[in-house]
Amino acid sequence: MRTSVSAREFGHLPDGRVVHEYTIANGCGLQLRALDFGAIVTGLWAPDAAGDSANVVLGFDKLSDYVERNQAFGIIAGRYANRIAGARFELDGQEVRVDANDFGNSLHGGSKGFGEQLWSGSLQERDADGRVSLLLRYTSADGEMGFPGELAVSVRYSLGPENDWRIDYEARTSRPTVCNLTSHAYFNLAGGGSALDHELTLHASRYTEVDAGGIPTENRSVAGSRYDFRAAKRVADATLDHNWLIDAPRDGKRHPAAQLMERGSGRVMDVSTSEPCLQLYAGKWLNGSLKGHRGEVYEQGAGLCLETQHAPDSPNRSGPDWPTTVLRPGEVYRTSTVYRFSVLA
């Protein structure tokens, strides 16, 4: 099999701008499709134990569904992924107020965050490491959704010969700001049905307890609780929407964060990241009102997100559990996450 890259017109936004869908394939059975709208991953095909490929992320066939009904399917969440309490924070002694779109809080950058914006895309053929990639760029204006500073962002999706999907993030700012980016892909390694029978391992001995609005109250040990995924167990509780603190040094390098396994297909997905935290969202707000690829109805738990990121509400917190998300002029925000696919023996 050979690597390949291609692009096609996917549709038009309400204002007439053209949206493109890009396809990259590593020649070893892994294929990814993504839009320049929201940097949305629309499909990710991975082989099962029998060598048959299926799409292992949730999504839609029409652009209008992403524009009008999307619950963050496949987006790059930013400028600040997850929640900021009260949609405000203090930066260099000044209060910053950002868009409140989640019960008085700011979620995933506000009502018109990065997942609602049109990016620019360019494809790269196989490089020296055998990787094929799609580079997506977006420049967020100073003051967009209330965030200070013009933020120039690039996100590279690449596939390697070892069946890994890597996301490399970079950002630079013109003024001090906060930045926290993640992929909000919904995974279902069975290629359909419920994801709640998937078995999950999290390399994390602590998680973040939250209030009714999803705002952190304290970090707790997972020992003796339903949040203990240090040994693989089923993702059977659809109410899960919490942050875990990854047991790894904070040295800017990628470290193991999670493993997701689906025994019916034999697919296994290992997650490594340079980020300090991972948010598990088990699709609790999916209620059957959305129809995705091939007309499949997305019920609660149809897919789950493994969002590598900094902790929610970090701009309002301090201490070793809350490394800064402040980005200043001259600095480069740089982080990466890898999802590696294999099969059970």
d(CA 203, CA 340): 16
d(CA 192, CA 42): 15
Domain 4-343 CATH assignment equals 2.70.98.10: yes
Mean per-residue pLDDT of the chain = 96
d(CA 331, CA 149): 13
pLDDT confidence of 240, banded at 50, 70, 90?
confident
Give which of 229, 207, 228, 227 is closest to 218, Cα–Cα: 207
Q: Which is the catalytic residue, given 242, 275, 307, 310?
A: 307
Q: Which is the catalytic residue, given 108, 184, 198, 242?
A: 184
**303 in Cβ contact with 57 (< 8 Å):** yes
Encoded amino acid at 63, one letter: L
80-97 burial, b at 16+ Cβ within 10 Å, e below that, comes to bbbbbbbbbbebeeeebe
Q: What 8-state DSSP symbol labels residue 48?
A: -
- The answer to whether 184 is a known catalytic residue is yes
Burial class (CB in 10 A: 0-12, 13-18, 19+), 191: buried
Kindly state the percentage of the chain with pLDDT values over 90: 94
Q: In this predicted structure, what is the pLDDT of residue 33? A: 98
**308 in Cβ contact with 273 (< 8 Å):** yes
pLDDT confidence of 37, banded at 50, 70, 90?
very high
What are 305's two structure tokens?
């997100």
pLDDT digits (tens, 9 = 90+) for 47-80: 999 999 999 999 999 999 999 988 999 999 999 9
Confidence (pTM): 0.97
Q: In this predicted structure, what is the pLDDT of residue 291? A: 93
- The answer to whether 9 is a known catalytic residue is no
d(CA 290, CA 106): 24
d(CA 202, CA 222): 11
* Length of the chain measured in residues: 345
The separation between CA 319 and the C-alpha centre of its own chain, rounded to angstroms, equals 25
Strands 277-281 and 241-245: antiparallel
In the chain, where the domains are located: 4-343
Q: What 8-state DSSP symbol labels residue 282?
A: -
pLDDT confidence of 236, banded at 50, 70, 90?
confident
What are 186's two structure tokens?
């919904």
